[in-house]
Structure 1
Amino acid sequence: MKLFHYHYWTHKVKEMEHFYQQLGFQTVLRVGRLDGEMQTFNPPLTWDDFKGKEIAFRIIEMVKGQTNVTFGQGKRDRFDHIGVLVNEDEYRRVVGRAAELDWAVNEGERRTFIATPWKFRIELQRRSDVVAEEQHTVIRQMKIDVPFNEHPGLVAQLLHLDVLHEEDSHVKVGNDEWSIVFNKEDDVRLQAVYFTDDGVNEVDPVGVRLN
């Protein structure tokens, strides 16, 4: 199981793409609605090629090494989900645990989403080709702000992780390769993403700190 992905809704889709391109991410997909129809605007097309067109981008997907970032058109910045790569055995165990927790599961051919009590979702992805083969830009930790209306340790139960540290203000869950720190806050947001040996120290246009 690998933590590999995060998704935001935002009105800054162009700024997001340019920002991540500067960090070495490659745009692999652009899908948006134009004149009432969903269309693709994938590379080698650039923003100059559809300049002046009113495109509502449903998703822009970018990849660098072992990290996949997506974002789509929204009225405001809103954190939507994180993603983990799983094999078939892990998939069945996690879906079964979600049923035990009474968390809604939306299974699809390409990916499955599990709704959490904190209004963000967890994507289960079984297709390894959604990330590049190069062993770099590996996510080692995320920090997520959530209200503690439900205990964040439930994520450890869902994903069969360990509770590595716990205090009143934060809970850390994970394994030997990656972890998630949940900070107690009123609003839900992805606060930070930490990579292994990538040398980045930036804040993206929706306010996520990258280290």
Structure 2
Amino acid sequence: MQLFHYHWWTDKPEEMETFYQQSGFETTLRVGRHNGEMHTFNPPLNWEEFRDKDIQFRIIEMVKGQTNITFGHGKKDMFDHIGFLVTDTEYSEVLERAEELQWKVNEGERRTFISTPWKFRIELQRRREVVTEEKQPSIQAMEIHMPFRENPALVCSLLDFELTEQTSGKVTIENDDCTLIFCNSEEKEASLYSVMFLADHVFSNVDPVQTKLIGRT
């Protein structure tokens, strides 16, 4: 089970794309609503060619190595979901545990979403082509801030991770490949605070939606 993905809604889609392009990501997809209909605006089209057309982008997808990032147009910055690449066996097992937890599952042909009690979703993805053959960067850990109205250790039960830390303010779960850190927050909505990557160079910066990005070798 590989942590590979995160998604934001934001009123800064162009700034997000520019930032991640400057970080070496390739734009692979742009889909948006224009004049009441959905259209693609994929590369080689660039923002100079459509910036003034009042496009409401449903999704912009960017890929580098084993990392896939998507974002779409929203009224404000809102963290939506994280994603795991899974095998067919892992997929079936996670869905069984979601049913036991009574968490809503939206199953689709291309991807499946599980809704959590903290207003962010977990995507299960079985198509390997959503990432490249390059090994780096790969996501090693994420820190998510959210109100602990439900025990975050339930995510451990869903994903069959190991619970390595649990206090009133912090819960850490992990498997052999990645770590999820949940920190208690007074905010009403969950937010992706930071993402840690295995990369070919060390870096530390902040993207336009204020997620901290940390690269380690």
Q: TM-score range by the shorter chain?
A: over 0.9
What is the distance in 1 between the residues matched to 2:51 and 2:184? 42
Find the counterpart in structure 1 of residue 21 from structure 2.
21
2:178 corresponds to which letter in structure 1? W
Find the counterpart in structure 2 of residue 10 from structure 1.
10
Shift of the alpha carbon at 1:69?
A: 0.4
Find the counterpart in structure 2 of residue 38 from structure 1.
38
What is the distance in 2 between the residues matched to 1:169 and 1:77? 24
Cα displacement string for residues 6-36 of structure 1 (whole angstroms, at most 9, x for unaligned residues): 0000000000000000000000000000011
Shift of the alpha carbon at 1:167?
A: 1.9
Find the counterpart in structure 1 of residue 65 from structure 2.
65
Shift of the alpha carbon at 1:200?
A: 2.4
Shift of the alpha carbon at 1:186?
A: 2.0
From 195, 202, 205, the counterpart of 1:193: 195
1:106-125 alignment, distance < 5 Å: 106-125=106-125
What is the distance in 2 between the residues matched to 1:51 and 1:210? 27
Is 1:149 the counterpart of 2:149 in the alignment?
yes
**Size of the alignment, in residue pairs?**
211
Which deviates further from its counterpart, 172-181 or 90-99?
A: 172-181
Shift of the alpha carbon at 1:165?
A: 1.4
1:36-185 alignment, distance < 5 Å: 36-185=36-185
The DSSP-based 3-state class of the residue aligned with 1:4 is strand
The DSSP-based 3-state class of the residue aligned with 2:53 is coil
What is the distance in 2 between the residues matched to 1:166 and 1:46? 46
What is the distance in 2 between the residues matched to 1:204 and 1:73? 16
Q: TM-score, with normalisation over the residues of structure 1?
A: 0.98
Find the counterpart in structure 1 of residue 208 from structure 2.
205
Which consecutive unaligned segments of at least 5 residues does structure 1 have? Answer: none
2:210 corresponds to which letter in structure 1? G
Q: TM-score, with normalisation over the residues of structure 2?
A: 0.96
Cα displacement string for residues 12-69 of structure 1 (whole angstroms, at most 9, x for unaligned residues): 0000000000000000000000011100000011111113111000000000100000
Shift of the alpha carbon at 1:4?
A: 0.4
What is the distance in 1 between the residues matched to 2:69 and 2:83? 10
1:73 corresponds to which letter in structure 2? H
What is the distance in 2 between the residues matched to 1:186 and 1:106? 28
| Identical aligned residues as a percent | 56
Cα displacement string for residues 140-199 of structure 1 (whole angstroms, at most 9, x for unaligned residues): 000000111111111111011110112221000011221000000022100000001342
The DSSP-based 3-state class of the residue aligned with 1:201 is strand
1:209 corresponds to which letter in structure 2? K
2:28 corresponds to which letter in structure 1? V
What is the distance in 2 between the residues matched to 1:127 and 1:33? 26
What is the distance in 1 between the residues matched to 2:6 and 2:191? 11
